[in-house]
């Protein structure tokens, strides 16, 4: 995970939304970026430019996940 950038505060009773986007798909990894915002004002609270998720086997070794960026987009719709 890259650094977490705290952009602005959230206040009591704020409703927040979390959005993530796939940035890159590797053989055993998927990289996403995320943003947390106040739902009403769309004010950004937190940004994370890179979170790398790795598919592993029961022994903890990287294992191919069989996904492509196209199949991930199809599943989203």
Q: Report how far apart, in Å, the C-alpha atoms of 66 and of each of 15, 29, 38, 63 are.
A: 36, 10, 35, 9
Tens of pLDDT, residue by residue over 21-50, are: 999 999 999 999 999 999 999 999 999 999
User: Where does the pLDDT of residue 77 fall: very low under 50, low under 70, confident under 90, or very high at 90 and above?
Assistant: low
Superfamily of domain 4-76: Hotdog Thioesterase (3.10.129.10)
**Domain map of the chain by residue range?**
4-76
Q: Cα(first)–Cα(last) distance of the chain, in Å?
A: 26
Q: Report how far apart, in Å, the C-alpha atoms of 50 and of each of 6, 12, 29, 53, 67 are.
A: 14, 28, 12, 10, 18
């Amino acid at each position: 995970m890259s650094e977490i950038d705290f952009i602005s505060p959230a206040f009591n009773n704020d409703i927040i939304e979390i959005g993530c986007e796939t940035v890159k798909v590797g053989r055993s990894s998927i990289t996403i970026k995320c943003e947390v915002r106040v739902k009403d004002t769309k004010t950004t609270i937190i940004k994370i430019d890179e979170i790398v998720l790795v598919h592993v086997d029961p022994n903890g070794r990287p294992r191919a996940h069989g996904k492509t960026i196209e199949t991930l987009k199809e599943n989203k719709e």
